[in-house]
Amino acid sequence: MPTKHERVLSVQALRKQYGATVAVDGISFDVGRNEIVGLLGPNGAGKTTTINMILGVLEPTGGSILIEGVDLAKRRSQALERTNFAAVYSPLPGNLTVQQNLRISGLIYGVKGLTARIEELLVQFELVRFRDTKSGVLSSGEQTRVALAKAMLNRPQLLLLDEPTASLDPATAQDIRARIRDFATQGTGGVLWTSHNMYEVEEVCDRVLFVSRGKVLLEGDPKALPREHGKATLEELFITVAREPLALERA
């Protein structure tokens, strides 16, 4: 568990309620510097709602979110300038070229030395030849690379990734995972990652949180956690969490 000053994200008793529906029910967790944390759970568990609250898109019903110690509710723009994200359900405008998309996002985030930063990212994500290509005509893998380049424009301390490798072929997914690993190990940021691919989670994440019905049921090292709960694989553990959350809650 990261010590206080090493935390890039600290979520305390976070809650989101829609009428009688409790989407997120008092979740607490941290993400440390250079750490990749997997947010796992069945459909409807509350993962996207949690991520959207951390992104400042949804207002929590309760609880607090600190990004590098900055309270999102009190100093919103200062907290959010340290953050960025990529999500499959939030593609970049397809009628703009790769370069235009990066420029607009960079302006939104107030990136200093934007032209040089875009050039750096075009090289890093092997996008130079697609510079003047409309984003919408690129393949899924290429679009994911553009989305990641966009997510890294402002050198975020907290990178939120909602299923970044969904719909990618295994080789492309591996390439994307390696780039995200590099981000976490070489820089000073941390990553919160959602995925339904347990193989990927085991390979990439330093720590996982299993969420079910808006609550964190389990937390730990994805390589050790299955054995600790008498399961052979992370996938088996996931299925148990999805089908019998109450049994685990009692354990």
Ligand X SMILES: Nc1ncnc2c1ncn2[C@@H]1O[C@H](COP(=O)(O)OP(=O)(O)OP(=O)(O)O)[C@@H](O)[C@H]1O
What CA–CA distance (Å, rounded) separates 158 from 7?
10
Q: Which two tokens stand for residue 2?
A: 């990261």
Using the contact rule CB under 6 A, the part of the chain among 4-12, 18-26, 136-144, 236-244 near ligand X is 18-26
Beta strand ranges found along 78-145 (DSSP E): 83-87
Q: How far is the CB of 41 from ligand X (least distance, A)?
A: 5
Using the contact rule CB under 6 A, the part of the chain among 15-23, 70-78, 103-111, 237-245 near ligand X is 15-23
Q: How far is the CB of 24 from ligand X (least distance, A)?
A: 7
Given candidates 4, 18, 112, 132, which one binds ligand X under the rule CB under 6 A? 18
What CA–CA distance (Å, rounded) separates 16 from 132?
41
Using the contact rule CB under 6 A, the part of the chain among 16-24, 69-77, 94-102, 164-172 near ligand X is 16-24
Q: How far is the CB of 230 from ligand X (least distance, A)?
A: 25
Strand partners, 193: 38, 161
Dihedral sign computed on CA atoms, order 245, 247, 250, 251: negative
Given candidates 21, 132, 171, 224, which one binds ligand X under the rule CB under 6 A? 21
The site that binds ligand X (CB under 6 A) totals a number of residues, namely: 11
CB nearer ligand X, residue 152 or residue 237: 237
Residue 216: exposure state from Cβ atoms within 10 A (0-12, 13-18, ≥19):
buried
**Which residues within the stretch 38-67 sit at the binding site for ligand X (CB under 6 A)?**
41, 43-49
CB nearer ligand X, residue 59 or residue 182: 59
What CA–CA distance (Å, rounded) separates 216 from 11?
12
